[in-house]
Structure 1
Amino acid sequence: MASAGIVNIRRDVDDKFYRYRMPLLTTKIEGKGNGIKTVIPNMADVARALSRPPTYPTKFFGCELGAQTSFDEKNERYIVNGAHDANRLRELLDGFIDKFVLCKSCKNPETELIILKQGRAEDIIRDCKACGERTGVDMRHKLTTFILKNPPVKIKKGKKKTGTGDAAAGVGGGGDSPDAEASPVENGAESDDELTKKIKAEAKDLNDDTTLTKEEWSADTSPEAVKQRIKALEGGIAGVSIANGDDEGSDDDANSPYSQLGKWVEESKDNHEGDTKTFLVAAYKKAEELGIEKKHKSVLVLAQALFTDDVLNEIPKYGALFAKTVTSEKHQKALLGGIERLVGLSHPDLLPAVPKILMALYQLDLLEEEVVTQWGTHVSKKYTDKETSKKVRKASEPFLKWLEEADDDSDDGEQ
C-alpha cells in the first residue's frame, strides 16, 4: 500500500490521525570499497514535509556519523559517504527533527528557522507558527555552522503564479498560517473536454439511496436499539466519553476523542454484515458518546477512516453519515481535507480520479460550489504539505472547469 511509506513527523506519536506527516526516509547503497556511499533518494520529499532545505538533514547525518556528505540539488541527489542502515538514518532524522524542527515549547513541527544577529554573535531560532513561541537551537551542534553559512531562503510573498511555488523551494515554509492563501493553481495544458464528459455521465450513475430519514436516525439511536446494534459492532471496544469541549483535540494524543472515533470506525466498518445503515447510525452514536458529533474535525477523521482506494463506491455507501455530519462550510473544508490526505498521501494513484470524487460528493450535496471553487484555487498546508496540496488541486481542475461551465450555462438560461 502507498500509505506504508508515510509516517508521522513525530514518530513518538502513535496516532494515524496526527496532522503532520512525512514520507518514510529511504536509502540506497552504491559503490564498493572506499567508494561506497549511501544515497537518500527521497530526501527532497522528506525535507519538503519538514519545511527545511534537504541539505540540512543530510549534513546533520554527516555531523552525527563523522562522514562526508555531498549534494546535487538540481538532480535532488543527497549522499552520505559510507554504508549506513536506513533505520539508523531514520533515528538520526528523529534527532534532527527534535533539535531543528519541533518547537521546544509545544512540540509542533510548524516552525521556521530564523537567524538573529546580536553584534558579532548569531543565533538560530525556531519561530513557531502554532503557539507563537521562539525557541533557540543548541548552537554547540556542528550543523549550526553549516546553517549560518547557508541560511534559509526567506520566501517572498505576493508573487502570482510562481510555477512550482514556495513549497518547492523546500526552505522556511513554516511561515504561512494553515489557512493562508497561496498562489492560485496554474491552469493545466491538457484538454479536459473528454474527462468532463465522463464526469457528467458517471454522475448520473451515482447511487442516490444514501439518505436516512429522521425516523430511521431516531429509531436506530433509541437506547435499546442502539445498545443492541453497537454491541455487535464494537467487538468489545469500550466507548469513553470526553467532555472537555475541545474543538480540535490534541494531535499528539492517541487517546483523543478523534483518534478513538477513527479507530472505532476502522475496526467496525467491516463487521456490520452488510447492514450499512445500522453501522452508520452506530458510528454517529459513537461520535455523540465522545461529544464530537458536531465538530468539523470529526468529518476529517471519518473521511480518513472510511475511505480507501475504492472511494468512488464508498461515497454513496457512506453518504448518509456525511450528510448528517457536514453542516457548515468549515465541515465541508474538513471533508475536502480528508480527500486531500486520501489521494495525496495514502493513495497517490487516485489523483486522476479527483474530479470524479468531487463530483460524487457534489452530487450528494456534501459540497457547495463556492466552497469547492475557493478550495480548488488556493493552495493550503492545513491538511497536507503544500506540494501535495498543489498536486491535488491541480488534479481537480476538470471538475472546477465543469462547475464554471455549468454556472455559465445557468446564467445564460436566466437571461
Structure 2
Amino acid sequence: MSSINICRDNTDPFYRYKMPAIISKIEGRGNGIKTAVVNNSDVARALARPPMYVTKFFGLELGAQTSCNEATDRYMVNGSHDSSKLQDLLDVFIQKFVLCKACKNPETDIVVTKDQMLFRDCKACGKRSPIDIAHKLSGVILKNPPTQGGKKTGSSKKASKRERRKNADADDEDGSDEVGSDDEFTKRINAEASALPQASALAAEDDDNWAIDTSEEAVAARVREVESQVNSLVLGDEDEGDDAYSQLGNWILEQDPKPDNIEVFKKIKELGIENKHRTLQVLAQTLFDSDILKQIDGRAPMLKKLMATENHEKAFLGGTERFVGLEHPELVAAVPKILHKYYNLDLVEEDVIVKWGSRASKKYVDKETSKKVRKAAQPFLTWLEEAEEDSDESDDE
C-alpha cells in the first residue's frame, strides 16, 4: 500500500508524517450504489482521528448519507465516488481538523472545552488552533468526543511507540532489514541497492586515497588527524566488529561535506552493523556539528530505520552525551532542546529518556561530565514528568 505525505502541499520526500492513500471501492448499482472506503481505519489511524470523523466528513461534504461499522471495519458513503475525489476531500479534512494552524504539524489532539468549543492542541509547538464550530462535523465531534482510540494523549503516544518497536522486533525475527518499507527513504535505498557493490569498491579505493596527495607522509598525517577526531568513540562491551565502528566513524568524519543519509546507510550495510546498537552511538557522535538542532530533522528518517530496540536508543543517548559533554561543551545548555527534538521525532522513547536522566553514569563520559549534562537536561525531564501527570489526570477524567 502506497504512503503519501499527510500534508500533500509538502513535497519533501523525507517528510516524516505519512498516511496511506485512500482506496475506494464502488459497490451496488442504480439507486443503491455506494462507495466503500476500504482503508478508512488505516487512514484515520495515521491522522490520530476516529474513523467515523473521516467518513462523516466525506458525507457532509458530498451531501450523501454514510454508515460506519467499527465492528466490521466497514465505512460507506452513498453514491459513486472515486479515490481521487475522496483524497481531495481528505486534504480539506486535514486542513480543518488535523494540521496545527501555526506550524502545520499534524501531531495534534482535538480538545473539547467546557464551553463546547473545539481546538487542535499541537504537541510540536504548543499552540492551540480553533476548529470552525459552524462546520457540521464539529457538531458530530461534540456529540462523539475523541477517546483514547482517536486522540494522541501522552500514554497513547507511548503505546504507539511500543507498537512500532514491537513491529520492528518482529521484522528482525523474520530476517527482514526493512522497517516501514513504504517510506521514501526505503524506496531510495532499494532503488540504489544494485549499485552497492560498485559503491563499496569505490569506498575501498577512497580508503586507500584519503587525500589528493597520496604520499605515505600525507596519508599517515591524514590517518592521525581522523583518528584524533574519533578517539572518543566508546564501542561498548561487545567484542566483535570493533574495527567496523571505527571505520564508520572515520569515514563520516573525513568527508566534507558529510555524506547524506543514503550514503551513510549503505556504508553501514556494507560494514554489516545495521542491527548493532553501537552503530547509533557512533552516528550520534559523528553525524552532527554545532548546528545539531538544525540537522536532527534531516537525519531522522535514517536514524528511525536503525533505532529498533531500547538498547539502540540508550546507545544513541550515550553518543549524544559524549558529543555534547566532551566534543561540544558549548552545546550543554542546548541539551533540553536536543532531547525534545529526539522525543518529538520518535527517535527515543520517554521511558528511556527518563531512565537516562535519573542518575549519572561513567559508561560514556566521566562522572562530572555526566552530572553536568543531566543537570542541563532537567528542564526537559521536568516537562516530561508534568506532561505525564496531565495525561494521567485526563485519563482519570
Contact 2:281–2:317, Cα closer than 8 Å, also in 1: no
Aligned to 1:325, which of 275, 278, 283?
A: 283
Say if 1:178 and 1:381, in contact at 8 Å, map to a contact too.
no
Shift of residue 83 of structure 1?
A: 0.8
Q: TM-score, normalised by structure 1?
A: 0.49
CA contact (8 A) 2:121 2:128 kept: yes
Distance change (3 Å), C-alpha of 1:313 and 1:27 = farther
Q: Does 1:29 align with 2:26?
A: yes
CA distance change for structure 1 residues 93 and 181 in 2, over 3 Å: closer, same or farther?
closer
Distance 1:10 1:286 in 2: 37
- Structure-2 residue corresponding to 1:110: 107
In the TM superposition, residue 75 of structure 1 has moved relative to its aligned partner by 1.4
Residue correspondence of structure 1 range 171-190 to structure 2 within 5 A = 171-173=150-152, 175-176=153-154, 180=158
User: For the Cα contact (< 8 Å) 1:115–1:125, is it kept in 2?
Assistant: yes
Query: Which consecutive unaligned segments of at least 5 residues does structure 2 have?
Result: 176-183, 208-247, 319-342, 350-397
* Contact 1:61-1:89 within 8 A present in 2 as well: yes
Is the contact between residue 274 and residue 306 of structure 2 (CA under 8 Å) also seen in structure 1?
no
Partner residue in 2 for 1:144: 138
Q: Secondary structure at the match of 1:327?
A: helix
2:102 aligned with 1:124, yes or no?
no
Name whichever structure is richer in helix by fraction: 2
Superposed structure 1 runs of 4+ greater than 3 Å apart: 177-185, 262-274, 276-288, 311-324, 333-343, 365-371, 380-384
C-alpha distance in 2, partners of 1:342/1:62? 41
Cα distance in 2 between the residues matched to 1:129 and 1:42: 26
Classify the secondary structure of the residue corresponding to 2:81: coil
SS in 1 for 2:87: helix
Which residue pairs with 1:43 in the alignment?
A: 40
> In structure 2, what is the Cα distance between the partners aligned to 1:126 and 1:321?
38
Count of residue correspondences: 259
CA offsets 1:351-389 (integer angstroms, 9 cap, x no match): xxx8xxx8xxx9xx9985999xxxxxxxx98449x9xxx
Q: Give the equivalent residue in structure 2 for 1:69.
A: 66
The residue number in structure 2 matching 1:13 is 10
CA deviation profile, 1:136-188 (whole Å, cap 9, x unmatched) = 011221111111111111x3xxxxxxxxxxxxx2x112x33998577967xx9
Higher relative contact order (CA 8 A, sep 6+): 1
- Map 1:4-403; keep pairs closer than 5 Å: 5-118=2-115, 122-153=116-147, 155=148, 169=149, 171-173=150-152, 175-176=153-154, 180=158, 272=199, 274-277=201-204, 278=206, 284=252, 288-289=256-257, 301-302=261-262, 306=265, 315=272, 325-327=283-285, 338=302, 382-383=345-346
Q: Distance in 2 between matches of 1:318 and 1:275?
A: 24
| Closer, same or farther: CA 340–284 of 1 in aligned 2, 3 Å | closer
SS in 2 for 1:152: coil
Aligned residue for 2:95, secondary structure, equals helix
CA change 1:183–1:49 in 2 (3 A) is: closer
- Structure 1 residue 287: deviation in Å? 7.4
3-state DSSP of counterpart to 1:114:
strand
Conserved 8 A contact 1:38-1:83: yes
Given the superposition, is the C-alpha separation of residues 181 and 302 from structure 1 closer, same or farther in structure 2, using an over 3 Å criterion? farther
User: Partner amino acid for 1:112?
Assistant: D
Q: In angstroms, what is the RMSD of aligned CA positions?
A: 5.3
- Indicate if the aligned counterparts of 1:113 and 1:172 stay in contact, CA closer than 8 A: yes
1:276 positional shift: 3.7
Distance 1:342-1:38 versus aligned 2 partners, 3 A rule: farther
Query: What amino acid is aligned across from residue 154 of structure 2 in structure 1?
Result: D
Distance 1:16 1:283 in 2: 26
Q: 1:53 to 1:266 in 2, by over 3 A?
A: same
SS in 1 for 2:57: helix
- What secondary structure sits across from 1:74 in the alignment? coil
Q: 2:69–2:75: 8 Å Cα contact kept in structure 1? A: yes
Cα distance in 2, alignment partners of residues 183 and 263 from structure 1: 24
Gaps of 5+ in 1: 156-168, 200-258, 344-353, 372-379, 387-415
Instruction: Kindly state the Cα deviation for residue 51 of structure 1 after the two structures are TM-superposed.
Output: 0.6
CA distance in 2, matches of 1:283, 1:87: 46
Task: Note closer, same or farther for the CA distance 1:34–1:339 as it changes in structure 2 (3 Å cut).
Answer: farther
Amino acid at match of 1:144: S
Q: Is the 8 A contact 1:266 1:306 kept in 2?
A: no
| Native 8 Å contact 2:124 2:344 kept in 1 | no
Scaled by the length of structure 2, what TM-score is found? 0.51
Gap change, CA 1:72 and 1:315, over 3 Å in 2: farther
Distance 1:151 1:90, change over 3 A: same
Give the deviation of 1:325 after TM superposition: 2.7
Q: 1:285 to 1:124 in 2, by over 3 A?
A: same
Moved more, 42-51 or 275-284: 275-284
- C-alpha spacing 1:315/1:9, structure 2 compared with 1 (3 Å): farther
